[in-house]
Structure 1
Amino acid sequence: MAQNPYVNLGWNPVPGEPGEVEKLRIQLVNSASALQTAYQKIDRLLGESSFWEGDAAVGFREALDGDLPKYMKDAHRSLTLAAGHLGAWHGGLTGRRELAHKYDAEAADHKGELKAANSRHEAAKQDPDLKLAGQTFEEGPELQAAQARLNAATARLNDAVTAVNKAQGALDDVMRKARELEGTHEAEARDLAKKLQDSTKDLAPEEPGWLSKALGWIGDNLTNILGVLGAVAGLLALLCTGPFGIAMLLAAGALSVATMASRLSDPQVRASLKDGFTKGEFDADFWENSVGLAGDFLGAVPGIGAVSRGLNGAVQSTRFASEAVSTGQFLGRFADDTVTAAGRIMTSGANPVGDLVVRAVGGGQGLKTAMDFASPVAGVGTAGFGLAADNIDGLNDGKGAATAIDTGRAGLFDGPAAASLIGNTVRLFG
């Protein structure tokens, strides 16, 4: 994944690479030129009967004198139009990227100002002269001096609050501008997509349909695909550390939730589960779907736990804040607390059964690591096998074994680990 060049904004409001757009435009121009040259040569062959004569020449001209010349000419026009649209997009993209860099620099300045203002505010709140408001003094110079000190401390606190609000407002304003820029960029992208689509309308030959077939295959296998992606993300969360590992843990949770939703949206899955619970039809499909849903839930637990702890931390921080917290500040605290919680979950190494096995056999760190990796690696394998089995008839007989493996994983590893995490999270809210 490309690194975000706008680190102070926190996201890329104008995704796209002008250099790649220009390369594609040049390729389209060259392709259009090649098509034009080919069309001109074919047109010349069709028009110059003296250039080549005989039965072979007649057959050749009859073969060409059909849709091919028209397709080549129309394709040339399509590519030329598309190249023009990409050229316009390139210019707009370059300008929007420059504006995004400007906003990013402003965000950096305002964040520095906000940090300084917050420090000043914290110092002003600790001013001992503010405590003079609760004290009693005799009339005269002593009272006047105390009142002057209190007034000065109060003024400094008010000035500090004003500075915080001003800095926060400036930062929120530049973020708003960046969001508006993102909206403009997305609108321009949609407009470009429509223009590119229109440039091929009634001009170029029909596509062979590979894209539609690919999208159809993805739709037919969406649950399995999401399951594979979630399993891979979970394994990467275990393999990697730092921000990438945390991102993978949260991604695994989100993908598990998406897999569960996709699985339950299938009428056949719902019917299988209903028949199992209401009619006692505990067939292979029932167990496969039940174990799949259980695995989806267990895969989502770490991500949900991190988000729940992050939300709780943000709420608690807001409750005990000394002043009103803006939406931006709340979301920032929520994000920070979620990332912190995800990092703690990653390093907790919650694998009760695995740890029990290691202690029972007197194993060392190597065995513990192997036990920690046993379930995620097996999960990637069974998820990948499930996707393959739904597309290759010869693998259907192995689905029962994959379901059995997933059942063992859920009962021996993922279930106890999830129960421990859920218990810790519930106690946190308690």
Structure 2
Amino acid sequence: MAQNPYVHLGWNPVPGQPGEVAKLRTQLANSANALQTAYEKIDKLLGESSFWEGDAAVGFREALDGDLPKYMKDAHTSLTQAAGHLGTWHDGLTSRRELAHKYDAEAADHKGDLKTANSRHEAAQKDPDLKLAGRTFTEGPELEAAQARLNAANDRLSDAVTAVNNAQGALDAVMRKARELEGTHEAEARALATALKDSTKNLAPEEPGWLSKALSWIGDNLTNILSVLAAVAGLLALLCTGPFGIAMLLAAGALSLATMASRLSDPKVRESLKDGVTKGEFDADFWENSVGLAGDLLGAVPGLGAVSRGLNGAIRSTINASEAVSAGQFLGRFADDTVTAANRITTAGSYNPVGNWVAQAAGGSQAVRVGMDYVSPVAGVLTSSYGLAAENIDALDSDAGKNTATGVDAARAGLFDGPAAFSIVRNTAAALR
């Protein structure tokens, strides 16, 4: 916190640094001048290009003409106005700071006077002659002398009280002026803010169109969007057969890896994970991010298994080939073997202990067993969709909702996706031997 330069007032009624304001004003003025120079050069080039004909000339004029010169001119006007407002604020700030220093000096003097007056008042109260009022004297010179001494002591006490009141009144008056100065300063600051805002009115380009807004929204919600897409692709891989199901299996793996990369690229996520590991801060954010990363990794396992087995098959085929294999042939074998491996993964299924237990409890029903395979993918679509919706709909954004979604995802990972991923990794490892 910056030190208060008005120690006798006790607070800073006019916060602000004239030097910083002057520096910003200079920067705005320089920027305005640069825009003006650029505008003049573009205008000159457009004028000189009138003698230039052909497609190149038309392209040149289209590149420089249109809204660009207008925006540059308007921006110059805006920055010039803003620099002028800051100049006015700088002068007013400097003047008010000088007045605040004057009040601070007066406050110091009045505090000194008040201290002196209080000391005088304390001494006058202790004057022994004041005690004469309670004593009895015989009439004559002795009584007259005592009365004179008592009157003098009372006069000194009265003068001391008057001095205290006067000093306190003067100090209160300068403090009141300082408060009024503070009010003026705040009013001027609000006026400056309004003036700076008005300086850009109708001067900036139009607001971004729907495409720009859509791209911005996607960037802000990329992790949640990828998570939803990965969950939907995983569900479609289970629902569909043939080439489309295989494509969805590979897409789910790629989208899960993309979700993980997007999640880890967020500094807040990395900081939350770091605090949990190094400081033991296992809060809701830590568990949400940890479970999310675990889910991303488990969702990528089927696709990674297929790609690993496909790459292994392509390498072995190339090694055992009787003649040289081109890059195109290698990639073709890699694609074919990956699709074959993905088809094996989708048709073979994966180990699902919870599904087996439930099916056995239901009398060994195959329909129940198959239905249990859909529990985790469907729940994944629901929790990921909730995460995306909660980020954009205030009514859905609650700690209870997020914690519930995290709990569901953790249960999916531990009871369904984890064992399934282990089964795929085990089978893949066996195939790579």
Q: CA deviation at 1:216?
A: 1.3
Residue 428 of structure 1: aligned partner? 431
User: Do the aligned partners of 2:358 and 2:368 also contact (CA within 8 Å) in 1?
Assistant: no
Instruction: Output the amino acid matched with 2:410.
Output: T
Instruction: Output the amino acid matched with 2:320.
Output: F
Residue 372 of structure 1: aligned partner? 373
User: Do the aligned partners of 2:380 and 2:409 also contact (CA within 8 Å) in 1?
Assistant: yes
Residue 390 of structure 1: aligned partner? 391
Sort the Cα spacing of 1:423 and 1:391 in 2 relative to 1 into closer, same or farther, 3 A: same
Instruction: Output the amino acid matched with 1:335.
Output: A
Instruction: Output the amino acid matched with 2:421.
Output: A
Task: Quote the Cα distance in structure 1 between the aligned partners of 2:271 and 2:207.
Answer: 37
**4+ runs deviating over 6 angstroms:** 198-201
Instruction: Output the amino acid matched with 1:414.
Output: D
User: Do the aligned partners of 2:318 and 2:330 also contact (CA within 8 Å) in 1?
Assistant: yes
Task: Quote the Cα distance in structure 1 between the aligned partners of 2:426 and 2:259.
Answer: 24
Structure 2, unaligned runs of 5 or more:
1-54, 69-204
Q: Deviations over 1:144-192 (max 9, x none)?
A: xxxxxxxxxxxxxxxxxxxxxxxxxxxxxxxxxxxxxxxxxxxxxxxxx
Q: Deviations over 1:304-363 (max 9, x none)?
A: 000000001011111111122111111111000000001111111214221232124324
Sort the Cα spacing of 1:316 and 1:213 in 2 relative to 1 into closer, same or farther, 3 A: same
Residue 214 of structure 1: aligned partner? 214
Residue 411 of structure 2: aligned partner? 408
Of 319-328 and 369-378, the range deviating more from structure 2: 319-328
Residue 165 of structure 2: aligned partner? none
Sort the Cα spacing of 1:271 and 1:341 in 2 relative to 1 into closer, same or farther, 3 A: same
Instruction: Output the amino acid matched with 2:323.
Output: E
Instruction: Please give the residue correspondences for 1:16-415 in structure 2 after superposition, counting only pairs within 5 Å.
Output: 203=66, 208-210=207-209, 211-353=211-353, 354-397=355-398, 398-415=401-418
Task: Quote the Cα distance in structure 1 between the aligned partners of 2:227 and 2:245.
Answer: 18
User: Do the aligned partners of 1:234 and 1:252 also contact (CA within 8 Å) in 2?
Assistant: yes
Equivalences, count? 237
Task: Quote the Cα distance in structure 1 between the aligned partners of 2:375 and 2:364.
Answer: 15
Sort the Cα spacing of 1:423 and 1:396 in 2 relative to 1 into closer, same or farther, 3 A: same
User: Identity of counterpart residues, as a percentage?
Assistant: 70
Q: CA deviation at 1:208?
A: 3.5
Sort the Cα spacing of 1:203 and 1:414 in 2 relative to 1 into closer, same or farther, 3 A: same
Instruction: Output the amino acid matched with 1:421.
Output: I
Q: Deviations over 1:125-150 (max 9, x none)?
A: xxxxxxxxxxxxxxxxxxxxxxxxxx
Sort the Cα spacing of 1:333 and 1:200 in 2 relative to 1 into closer, same or farther, 3 A: same
Sort the Cα spacing of 1:203 and 1:419 in 2 relative to 1 into closer, same or farther, 3 A: same
User: Do the aligned partners of 1:351 and 1:372 also contact (CA within 8 Å) in 2?
Assistant: no
Instruction: Output the amino acid matched with 1:406.
Output: D
Q: CA deviation at 1:395?
A: 1.8
Sort the Cα spacing of 1:396 and 1:351 in 2 relative to 1 into closer, same or farther, 3 A: farther
Q: Deviations over 1:186-224 (max 9, x none)?
A: xxxxxxxxx99x969754795541322221111111000
User: Do the aligned partners of 2:352 and 2:373 also contact (CA within 8 Å) in 1?
Assistant: no
Residue 16 of structure 2: aligned partner? none
Sort the Cα spacing of 1:329 and 1:409 in 2 relative to 1 into closer, same or farther, 3 A: same
User: Do the aligned partners of 1:389 and 1:396 also contact (CA within 8 Å) in 2?
Assistant: yes
Q: CA deviation at 1:403?
A: 0.4
Residue 185 of structure 1: aligned partner? none
Q: Whose radius of gyration is greater, 1 or 2?
A: 2
Instruction: Output the amino acid matched with 1:399.
Output: K
Task: Quote the Cα distance in structure 2 between the aligned partners of 1:247 and 1:255.
Answer: 12
> Normalising by the residue count of structure 2, what TM-score does the alignment of the two structures yield?
0.52
Instruction: Output the amino acid matched with 2:411.
Output: G
Sort the Cα spacing of 1:199 and 1:409 in 2 relative to 1 into closer, same or farther, 3 A: farther
Task: Quote the Cα distance in structure 2 between the aligned partners of 1:279 and 1:220.
Answer: 29
Instruction: Output the amino acid matched with 1:380.
Output: V
Sort the Cα spacing of 1:252 and 1:200 in 2 relative to 1 into closer, same or farther, 3 A: farther
Instruction: Output the amino acid matched with 2:225.
Output: I
Q: CA deviation at 1:414?
A: 0.4
Task: Quote the Cα distance in structure 1 between the aligned partners of 2:225 and 2:65.
Answer: 35
Of 247-256 and 392-401, the range deviating more from structure 2: 392-401
> Normalising by the residue count of structure 1, what TM-score does the alignment of the two structures yield?
0.52
Residue 200 of structure 2: aligned partner? none
Sort the Cα spacing of 1:199 and 1:282 in 2 relative to 1 into closer, same or farther, 3 A: farther
Task: Quote the Cα distance in structure 2 between the aligned partners of 1:386 and 1:408.
Answer: 17
Instruction: Output the amino acid matched with 2:428.
Output: T
Q: Deviations over 1:14-54 (max 9, x none)?
A: xxxxxxxxxxxxxxxxxxxxxxxxxxxxxxxxxxxxxxxxx
Q: CA deviation at 1:366?
A: 1.9
Sort the Cα spacing of 1:348 and 1:212 in 2 relative to 1 into closer, same or farther, 3 A: same
Instruction: Output the amino acid matched with 1:365.
Output: Q
Task: Quote the Cα distance in structure 2 between the aligned partners of 1:368 and 1:203.
Answer: 66
Instruction: Output the amino acid matched with 1:343.
Output: N
Give the secondary-structure state (helix, strand or coil) at the position aligned to 2:322.
coil
Sort the Cα spacing of 1:221 and 1:201 in 2 relative to 1 into closer, same or farther, 3 A: farther
Task: Quote the Cα distance in structure 2 between the aligned partners of 1:337 and 1:347.
Answer: 15
User: Do the aligned partners of 1:228 and 1:383 also contact (CA within 8 Å) in 2?
Assistant: yes
